[in-house]
A and B are shown apart, each in its own frame.
Chain A
């Protein structure tokens, strides 16, 4: 098992190097990393020149990539070329906020999605099933940003009409509140709800389909035939096997969730890594954009790895060798 994990991590290194090299080359060719410095009237031509020398921006792209790669390890992602500030503190802060929102949303979506999927499959074609199937179709077709905006409009309206503050519709904290205060929950509730709804649509649909695949299988029939009570057949035999595809879906969906986080955080101006990315991209701060791409790629790779491990746990037929 440990060797498997180690090997998977080793495999992902060349993938990361190629993908970062490609994006680095593209970004360097298409954009000008010091354009923003040149716009700043308070920064002298001398400073810019020094920055160019210091960051080896006058060298060829592969060489620059090498220096950039070194900076990632030695200086924690290096400095932004637009603000000349280190990138890491920003990433660390925003990533923490995003993690709180995204993980809460995913957890909610998984729990609800799996539960609804099970009941929809057991009571196929019941009103319950129809209701949630339609709902998931709708959630599937809904652009994330639109859902977020609708919620924002709704709650802004509630506040303006009745002066009741149910949820906040922007930013992350009122001053002086911690990471798990009620105030924080009021702030992140809408982003979490947005992301959870979209994922829930996906998970409940997959769970229903995969339950239906298993519920009529031979071994489920065998279990029933030998007198196992129905709830036990569902929970022990069907449910556990139906869970396997969900793991894959969850892992593959994670990239999309991070994309959804970009949009959601932008709508709610929430200080997460997605909003950070959008701002930096708008500013043309290319090294910060690269930092975002690297960090999220690593996260996606790690999540895929976790999914594979969970997969092996749920399905003992899979061997890692």
Chain B
């Protein structure tokens, strides 16, 4: 769970819990996960403990978490998990189907590379892209949304027009155009390009929350007590936006992985030899008879996205302050 950190990184502090618990705010969602780590230690009985219970009892979410830990874990420790390197080839074993012999669980491709290893290395690339895009675009969206919602004015206007613009454009086509001209098949360039297009949605959400919260009594109280704009924005209002940010950030990982895969599949994203899941599916297209070349990397994408969506749903349910009841 990396999502709480964007806020912390961007503003150099962790929103303290007490602030929300002291009852002025009807206690959103938000801070809940800011304290995923911190909250446990301080032992606050707050919205967070409700949320944690709700999340832990959300069966699908726990299932998703387990699956994601397994899959992403395999990606992170690819060099230990994968039986072969992603580029080592064995021309005596070309296009053999899935078999346990020689640990070719997912078969081999047209130049005899072990497909299981390639998929595992592909997971690593895809998860790096997904997590980085979600993380960076959350920070960017958070900062822009906060300023737009709090100050209004030209920055708000610019943001809204910009998001309108993004909504009228065919997103995949624009991404394909940009990455075909600038991406050059590099993983980090693609990450950067995706980030540039992913932050607007979150900025809009954060803006909405800021817009409604800046008129609240507790903000007025903070103002009366002499708090500056920065303090109000990032210590008083920000914790209340963390809920949507976390949910959005989680789902953005899945969206980024799918988008990267689609771009790579079309040939405008990451290019071979770097194995990403989209690259692998695209490679499988040339050998439709060898179904394993298409099925396994694609299935991995589906599983990752499914797990993330379950987790996201679980978080949304858990962080929704209007929902007090603990799920059975």
Residue-wise, chain B 157-176 has the 8 Å CB interface mask toward A (1 for contact) of: 00001001101111111101
- Most B CB within 10 A of own CB, among A18, A27, A153: A153
CB atoms of B285 and A146 under 8 A apart? no
CB atoms of A150 and B298 under 8 A apart? yes
| A262 in the interface (beta carbon within 8 A) | yes
Residue-wise, chain A 270-310 has the 8 Å CB interface mask toward B (1 for contact) of: 00000001100110000001001100110011001000000
> How near does chain B come to A9, taking the closest CB pair, in angstroms?
13
Q: In the complex, A301 Cα to B164 Cα: how many Å?
A: 11
Q: Determine, out of B39-47, B50-58, B265-273, the stretch whose residues face the partner at the interface.
A: B265-273
| B77 in the interface (beta carbon within 8 A) | no
CB atoms of A149 and B301 under 8 A apart? no
| B177 in the interface (beta carbon within 8 A) | yes
Q: Which residue of A lies closest to B295 (CB)?
A: A150
| B309 in the interface (beta carbon within 8 A) | yes
> How near does chain B come to A8, taking the closest CB pair, in angstroms?
12
Q: In the complex, A23 Cα to B178 Cα: how many Å?
A: 9
Residue-wise, chain B 285-309 has the 8 Å CB interface mask toward A (1 for contact) of: 1001101001100100111011001
| A77 in the interface (beta carbon within 8 A) | no
Q: Determine, out of A66-74, A214-222, A239-247, A253-261, the stretch whose residues face the partner at the interface.
A: A253-261
Question: A266 and B182 in contact (CB under 8 A), knowing A149-B281, A150-B295, A153-B291?
Answer: no
CB atoms of A262 and B172 under 8 A apart? yes
Question: A259 and B302 in contact (CB under 8 A), knowing A31-B181, A144-B262, A281-B268?
Answer: no
- Residues of B at the A interface (CB closer than 8 Å) are 161, 164-165, 167-174, 176-178, 180-182, 254, 258, 261-262, 265-268, 278, 281, 284-285, 288-289, 291, 294-295, 298, 301-303, 305-306, 309
Question: A301 and B173 in contact (CB under 8 A), knowing A149-B284, A266-B266?
Answer: no
| A238 in the interface (beta carbon within 8 A) | no
Give 24 A-B contacts (CB < 8 Å), ordered by A residue: A18-B165, A138-B306, A140-B305, A140-B309, A141-B305, A143-B261, A143-B278, A145-B281, A146-B281, A146-B298, A149-B281, A149-B284, A152-B288, A258-B170, A258-B173, A259-B171, A259-B173, A262-B172, A263-B266, A277-B176, A293-B170, A293-B174, A296-B169, A296-B170
Q: In the complex, A30 Cα to B179 Cα: how many Å?
A: 10
| A267 in the interface (beta carbon within 8 A) | yes
CB atoms of B169 and A293 under 8 A apart? yes
CB atoms of A263 and B165 under 8 A apart? no
> How near does chain B come to A259, taking the closest CB pair, in angstroms?
3
CB atoms of B177 and A23 under 8 A apart? yes
| A131 in the interface (beta carbon within 8 A) | no
Q: In the complex, A149 Cα to B305 Cα: how many Å?
A: 18
Closest 4 CB pairs of A and B: A259-B172, A146-B298, A30-B181, A141-B305
Residue-wise, chain A 127-152 has the 8 Å CB interface mask toward B (1 for contact) of: 00000000001101111111001101
Using Cβ atoms and an 8 Å threshold, which residues of chain B touch A278? 176, 266-267
CB atoms of B173 and A141 under 8 A apart? no
CB atoms of A300 and B170 under 8 A apart? yes
Main SS of chain A's interface residues? helix
Q: In the complex, A263 Cα to B182 Cα: how many Å?
A: 20
Using Cβ atoms and an 8 Å threshold, which residues of chain A touch B174? 23, 293
Q: In the complex, A304 Cα to B262 Cα: how many Å?
A: 25
Question: A153 and B268 in contact (CB under 8 A), knowing A23-B174, A300-B168?
Answer: no
Question: A143 and B170 in contact (CB under 8 A), knowing A150-B294, A289-B177?
Answer: no
Q: Which residue of B lies closest to A18 (CB)?
A: B165
CB atoms of A141 and B306 under 8 A apart? yes
CB atoms of B262 and A145 under 8 A apart? yes
> How near does chain B come to A258, taking the closest CB pair, in angstroms?
5
Using Cβ atoms and an 8 Å threshold, which residues of chain B touch A185? none
Task: Among A267, A282, A289, point to the contact of B285 (Cβ < 8 A).
Answer: A267
| A45 in the interface (beta carbon within 8 A) | no
CB atoms of A262 and B302 under 8 A apart? no
Residue-wise, chain A 157-168 has the 8 Å CB interface mask toward B (1 for contact) of: 100100000000
Question: A297 and B170 in contact (CB under 8 A), knowing A19-B165, A145-B281?
Answer: yes
Q: In the complex, A299 Cα to B173 Cα: how many Å?
A: 14
Using Cβ atoms and an 8 Å threshold, which residues of chain A touch B295? 150, 153
CB atoms of A255 and B169 under 8 A apart? yes
> How near does chain B come to A23, taking the closest CB pair, in angstroms?
7
Q: In the complex, A15 Cα to B172 Cα: how many Å?
A: 19
